[in-house]
Amino acid sequence: MADMVDSADRAALNSLVAEVVVGHFGFSVDGLPVVMPIAVASDGDTLLLHGSTGSWWLRQLATGIPVSMAITAVDGLVVARSAFESSMHYRSGVLFGRCVAVEGQEKVAALDVITEALIPGRTREVRASLPKELAATLVLRMIVDEFSVKVSHDWPEDTAADLATDVWAGVIPLVAVRSEPLPAPDLRAGIALPESVRRLAISS
C-alpha cells in the first residue's frame, strides 16, 4: 500500500480547503445520518459556509448540533503490479466541531472572505450585497474542535515476486485545470474580462 502521513497541520488543512473548495458536512437528525456538500472557506482556525435562510439542513447546523466535515483532493492513481497494492495519491481532511450563525457586519465580512476564497479580487469588482440579499443568506462559522489531515503520495509498493513480472507499474497524475472563461449570453458588448477572472484562468 502507498505511504500515508497523518497529521494535525493547520497550514496543510487550510491549503487543502483553498484548493478543493467543497466540503461534505455530516450530522445526525432524529437518529438519521445526513451528508451534504457545500462550498467552504478558511477564516483563521474556523471554516465559513453560506446558503439560503430557507435551507433546512443549514438551519439544523445553526442550532449547534455536533457536525463533521470531510474534504478530499485526489492527485493521482497508483497503478501497482497487483490490484491489491493499487491505490491513490490523495490529501484529505476530517474535522469535528459545531456551527454558529454569523450576523451583522461580521456576516458581511464573512461573505467577502468566501467570495475572495473562490475568486480572489472579485469583491473589488462587484457591488455590495443588498440588504434583502443579506437577509436571505445564512452564514455559518464552523468552530473546529479537532481535525486530522492525511496525505498519501508514494510509488507502488509491490512484492518482490511481482517486481519480477512484466506488468507495468507507476502513477497516473490527476490534475484539475481551468478552461477559458465563457461570457454570459446576456453580457453587453465591450465588457472586458475582469482582472480577477483573468488571473484565476491563467493560474491553472
Q: pLDDT (tens digit, 9 = 90+) per residue, 61-114?
A: 999 999 999 999 999 999 999 999 999 999 999 999 999 999 999 999 999 999
Q: How confident is the model at residue 2 (pLDDT cuts 50, 70, 90)?
A: very low
Q: How confident is the model at residue 204 (pLDDT cuts 50, 70, 90)?
A: low
- Apex 151 CA angle, 148 and 153, nearest 5: 175
Q: Structural domains in the chain?
A: 4-177 (2.30.110.10)
| Coil vs helix vs strand at 21 | coil
Helices (H), 21-130: 56-62, 104-118
The answer to whether 150 and 13 have CB atoms below 8 angstroms apart is: no
> What's the pLDDT score for residue 16?
94
Predicted model pTM: 0.89
> What's the pLDDT score for residue 6?
63
Q: Burial, 10: exposed, middle or buried (Cβ in 10 Å; 0-12, 13-18, 19+)?
A: middle
Residue type, 79: V
**Rounded to an integer, what is the distance from CA 9 to the centroid of its chain?**
16
**pLDDT tens-digit profile of 22-70?**
999 999 999 999 999 999 999 999 999 999 999 999 999 999 999 999 9
| Alpha-carbon span 8 to 197, nearest angstrom | 33
Q: Burial, 34: exposed, middle or buried (Cβ in 10 Å; 0-12, 13-18, 19+)?
A: middle
- Compute the average pLDDT of residues 149-162: 96
| Coil vs helix vs strand at 1 | coil
Q: Which helix (H) or strand (E) holds 160?
A: helix 160-163
